[in-house]
Amino acid sequence: MDSTLRLIAANPVDKLARTVEALLVVASAPLTVAELAEAADDDPERVETALGLVRERFSEPRSGIVLEEVAGGYAFRASREAADACSRLFERPVERGLSPAALETLAIVAYLGPCSRPEVARIRGVAADSAVASLVERGLISEAGRESGPGGAVRYKTTPLFERVFGLESLAALPRLDDLGEDATELRTRLLEVAESRAS
């Protein structure tokens, strides 16, 4: 009798929330709503409601585990409060020792990708071989086909790990870079002055 009453009282979305929670604990990469709905064999809209419940339950400073929306999906991470303890036990090898050259290459691939190594080299003015190799090894960029035409160069794009490491919901969360208009005009004027003085 008691058991029956408890079943009636249980919120069906709450049960789904527990399933979603379990799926997210097992996953080692962010899961999309569609993936969660498929695995839970439930409706995507109900899954989103369940995610709301899980997010409420696993939020800072309430819990040591935090649900975040990252890299186009949902994933658990440790709370920032526990960061010191985590850093004493774990490393962050993906981003450790990222050189300025690697960061520039990463920025080019993130904003202009998929793009090839020669394209990166053309923008940076120096060869990008080692920077690209280092980023591939860290899993921050990956191959994304080749340029068209015979013998086309390999093209690269950022991976979901890149978005996760940088805490981005998606690539659309990158800041816009079109606020450099004034700088470009100033540059152009300065260069024109130099060119004219050389011509005269």
Partner 1 sequence: MRELALDLDAFEGPFDLLLTLLLSEDLEPRDVDLAGVVLAFLEVLAERDEVDLDACGEFLVLISALLELKARALFPDEAAELDALEPEEAAEELARRLAEYRRMKEAAAWLAERLVSERDRFFRLGPAPLAPQPERRLAPQDPEALGAALRLLATPPPSVSLNHMALRFPPVAQFLERFRALLSRRRRFDFDSEVHGLSRVEQAVAFLALLELRKAGEVAISQAAPFAPIRITKADVERIDTWTRRSA
For the bound state, the minimum distance from the C-beta of residue 177 to partner 1, rounded and expressed in Å, comes to: 5
Q: What tokens does 55 get?
A: 């997010």
Q: Which stretch binds partner 1 (CB under 8 A): 1-9, 12-20, 47-55, 171-179?
A: 171-179
For the bound state, the minimum distance from the C-beta of residue 15 to partner 1, rounded and expressed in Å, comes to: 22
Which parts of the chain fold into alpha helices (H)?
2-9, 12-26, 33-40, 44-57, 83-89, 100-112, 117-124, 129-138, 160-165, 181-199
Residue of the chain from 11, 15, 43, 80 that contacts partner 1 (CB under 8 A): 80
| Consecutive H or E run containing 74 | strand 73-78
| Consecutive H or E run containing 70 | strand 65-70
For 116, other C-beta atoms within 10 Å of its C-beta total: 21
Residues binding partner 1 (CB under 8 A) = 27-29, 35, 38, 75-78, 80, 82-84, 86-87, 90, 92, 94-95, 98, 100, 103-104, 106-108, 110-111, 116-118, 121, 123-125, 129, 132, 146, 149-154, 161, 164-167, 174-175, 177, 180, 183-184, 187-188, 191-192, 194-196, 198-199
